[in-house]
Amino acid sequence: MSSDNADSLVASDDPNHPANLICQLCRLFYHNGWVTGTGGGISIRKGDHIFIAPSGVQKERMLPDNMFVMDLETKEYLRMPKSLKPSACTPLFLAAYTNRNAGACIHTHSQNAVLISLLYDKVFTIANIEQIKALPKLTEPGYLGFFDTLTIPIIENTAHEEDLKDSLEQAIIDYPATTAVLVRRHGIYVWGETVWKAKVYNEAIDYLLELAVKMRQLGIPPDGAIGSERNTRVV
């Protein structure tokens, strides 16, 4: 495979080409405070090609030319930009592709995710909030209902990001209804069938994490029954 050929993998006028979309979404996530300081990452799958943002770069300044491309079957890099390092998130992204047939995976250092990981033990749960309905049931077709409880597992962080792979895969197996895994004192991984679904799930989950922190600060349990807020209401 020639170098020219590899470059053609990321060169496209189509704004929805994965190499272009990753740049566009990273700018959005940067301005949301999710990937500042080179934190976080994103990957999009197109057929058997996985596009991955490089490690340690400024997320809002990425260019399509910076993208790594991997073959999902062989796990070999089809394209490795010179002088850039592959993302340490790669094994984690692969876990979502392999175990869930995901179309994209987003990793952020959202402060809401970090705070929730400090306030909850093994799982984060929230119930009876309309925004929950943006998230899929997964174990059966359709979306969660207003009266359902959203449960997101929390795994312990490790010294090296790639070492999260085993516990993240275990969480994926143990929680077949989850489309996200929180990493304590670190952030969150969210995936979806397509890049747009992954983006929407990430937005909806971050909304719920932020709301849950605010509810806790007001003394209202985020997973309480409807009406339970009356007892803890700050009058």
Catalytically annotated residues? 130
Which of these, 129, 118, 135, lies nearest to 215 by C-alpha position? 129
Q: How far is the CB of 156 from a second copy (least distance, A)?
A: 8
Is residue 95 within 8 Å of residue 171, measured between CB atoms? no
The answer to the question of residue 151 lying near a second copy (CB under 8 A) is no
40 in Cβ contact with 29 (< 8 Å): yes
Please report whether residue 38 would count as binding a second copy according to CB under 8 A.
yes
Give the integer Cα–Cα distance in Å for 129 and 210. Answer: 13
State which amino acid sits at residue 116.
Answer: I
DSSP codes of every residue in 68-94: EEEETTT--EEE--TT-PPPTTHHHHH
Q: Please list the residues that pair with 108 across neighbouring strands.
A: 188
Spatial strand order of the sheet with 49-52 comes to 77-79, 68-71, 49-52, 41-46, 104-108, 187-192, 180-183, 149-155, 123-127
From 7-15, 65-73, 77-85, 224-232, give the range in contact with a second copy by CB under 8 A. 224-232
Report the residue from 48, 101, 185, 225 that binds a second copy according to the rule CB under 8 A: 185
Which long-range CB contacts under 8 A does 214-219 form with residues at least 24 apart? Answer: 216/119
Q: Cα dist. 121→90, 185, 220 in Å?
A: 26, 12, 18
**Cβ atoms of 153 and 175 closer than 8 Å:** yes
Report how many residues bind a second copy under the rule CB under 8 A.
51
Interface with a second copy, residue 180, by CB under 8 A: no
Q: How far is the CB of 163 from a second copy (least distance, A)?
A: 10
- 104, 183, 195, 209: which one contacts a second copy (CB under 8 A)? 183
Q: Which is nearer to a second copy, 131 or 170 (CB)?
A: 131
Site for a second copy in 115-144 (CB under 8 A): 115, 118-119, 121, 128-131, 134
Q: Does 66 bind a second copy (CB under 8 A)?
A: no
Compare residues 80 and 129 and give the one whose CB is closer to a second copy. Answer: 129
Could you say whether residue 83 binds a second copy (CB under 8 A)? no
Considering only residues 89 through 118, tell me which ones interact with a second copy, judged by CB under 8 A.
109, 111, 114-115, 118
Residue 159 has phi, psi (to 5 degrees) of -60, -40
Least distance to a second copy from the beta carbon of 207, Å?
A: 6
If the CB atoms of residues 69 and 120 are measured against a second copy, the closer one turns out to be 120
Give the residues lining the site for a second copy (CB under 8 A). Answer: 33, 36-39, 58, 109, 111, 114-115, 118-119, 121, 128-131, 134, 145-147, 156-159, 183-187, 196, 199-201, 203-204, 206-207, 210-211, 214-218, 220, 226, 229-230, 233-234
